[in-house]
Amino acid sequence: MKDLEDLAGDQKVGAKTVAIAFGEGPARIMAGAMMIIVLAMIGVLALWFIQESQAILALFLLSFILVPLVIAFIYGAWGRTRFEYGKASMWSKHAMFMGLVFLVVLGVV
């Protein structure tokens, strides 16, 4: 998402990003495919926590990591402007931060 957000600036400075090398469409498809893989993995992990009677951890994963990543996916998939790609990036960063919080919580539980 960050490559797509900074596409114009990266082109001006001659950066070699995925979005420049392959184009905006393929870069969006690659980012979307990676996001789908991550979403599926989080879903599987949440199901595992539910089976292990750790519903609170599953709820945390679904609420604070999966939902922001779905929002990021939507902004990234349908975004066409720097603002929309910026929103996708911001939601992705939120999910990454909450993932770190989750690891701390997991270490305490």
Distances (CA, A) of 58 to 50, 63, 75, 104: 6, 8, 24, 15
| pLDDT value of position 6 | 86
| pLDDT value of position 8 | 85
Sign of CA dihedral 29, 89, 79, 24: negative
Helix axes 67-78, 82-108, angle to 10 degrees: 160
pLDDT digits (tens, 9 = 90+) for 24-33: 889 989 999 9
Which parts of the chain sit beneath pLDDT 50? none
| pLDDT value of position 37 | 97
| pLDDT value of position 49 | 96
Q: For 53, which DSSP code?
A: T
Average pLDDT, the chain: 93
Q: Is 38 helix (H, G, I), strand (E, B) or coil?
A: helix
| pLDDT value of position 45 | 96
